Amino acid sequence: MTTTDGTALTATRYGMSTAPATVVYVPGPLSDSSHFSPLVAQLDEHFAGGIAQLIYDQRGHRSDLGGVSNVGMAQLVDDLQAVLDRASGSVVLVVHSLAAILAQEWLYRHRHEQPRVGAIVAVGPVAELPDTAGVLTTRPMESAYDAGAQLIRQLTTALGTRDRINDQRATDCARQMLRAYRRCGADLAVVEDMLRAIPTWIVAGARDPVVGCERIEELAATAWAELIIVDDADHGLLVTHPAAVADAVVAALEAVHDRSVFGGGW
């Protein structure tokens, strides 16, 4: 799939290209599409291939971490739009971890349009980069670099992808990737208003080390989202508890179907 700047991204579609509904998956940075594999398999079986599922790897999600150099959030939003343009029927957007920030930026860009997305399922959503010390700035300070590397280790440990960040070059490239998620311009008050009009589910682990239950509950209340807390799960619940996420996606698909048939608001 070629994006607006000519970069080729890898995308995979499961199901028919003319399906009445498509689930679009967006992995967070420092992860990749493999995190969604158990969920894709469950939904394919549940619907007997009657829906489409579309998943792509963002820039730098696989071995070529250098592919994210100098890429900002605006380009990542363009990439997501390119994927959504290939979705058929009603769309349910499923985002994991820091991909929630990308979803916010996409919503804000399209705030004056009819949303292409009919429902959202956010799994372990991180709505703002955990960067209280400003460690992801471009300041060439040793302490900032050390703190940035620590943040990357925390995220990759929680996602089970730590083995991919195995040298200084990979760490620097990962930091570049995360900068795109730090420098965002969406007015969150506007995004919150938009989310209240879109059926939204939040699924999170009670033992998530990246985002605590208190913050998750705050997000759900703000977005008027259905909240599902999985007691024995952490940030990797897509792999460990795919059934809980599948239930939320099924509910989201039913919601967009009902809206398409009966109309009305959420």
Q: pLDDT, tens digit, for every residue of 190-203?
A: 999 999 999 999 99
Q: Is residue 151 part of a domain?
A: no
Produce one character per residue of 23-34: b if its CB has 16 or more CB atoms within 10 Å, e if not: bbbbbbbbbbbb
Q: Is residue 86 part of a domain?
A: yes
Q: According to the model, what pLDDT value does residue 145 have?
A: 64
For residue 75, give Cα distances in angstroms to 83, 101, 102, 126, 181.
Answer: 13, 14, 10, 20, 11
Domain tally for the chain? 1
Q: Is residue 180 part of a domain?
A: no
Radius of gyration for the alpha carbons in the chain, expressed in angstroms and rounded: 18
Q: Is residue 167 part of a domain?
A: no
Number of Cβ within a 10 Å radius of residue 14 = 17
SS3 at position 92: strand
Global pTM reads: 0.88
Q: According to the model, what pLDDT value does residue 171 have?
A: 77
Strands laid side by side in the 21-26 sheet:
11-14, 52-56, 21-26, 90-96, 119-123, 200-205, 226-230
Q: According to the model, what pLDDT value does residue 140 have?
A: 46
Q: Is residue 147 part of a domain?
A: no
Rounded Cα–Cα distance for residues 171 and 164 (Å): 9
For residue 55, give Cα distances in angstroms to 129, 138, 193.
Answer: 23, 32, 27
Backbone angles phi, psi at 25, to 5 degrees: -105, 135
Q: Are 191 and 104 within 8 A, CB to CB? A: yes
Q: Is residue 103 part of a domain?
A: yes
Look over the chain and give the mean of its residue pLDDT values, rounded to a whole number. 85
Q: According to the model, what pLDDT value does residue 206 have?
A: 94
Q: Are 256 and 199 within 8 A, CB to CB? A: yes
- Residues of the chain scoring pLDDT < 50: 63-66, 140, 262, 266
Q: Is residue 69 part of a domain?
A: yes
Residue 103: domain span: 11-128+187-262
Q: Are 171 and 136 within 8 A, CB to CB? A: no
Q: According to the model, what pLDDT value does residue 57 have?
A: 83
Q: Is residue 248 part of a domain?
A: yes
Q: According to the model, what pLDDT value does residue 33 have?
A: 86
Q: According to the model, what pLDDT value does residue 66 have?
A: 46
CATH code of the domain in which 244 resides: 3.40.50.1820
Q: According to the model, what pLDDT value does residue 262 have?
A: 44
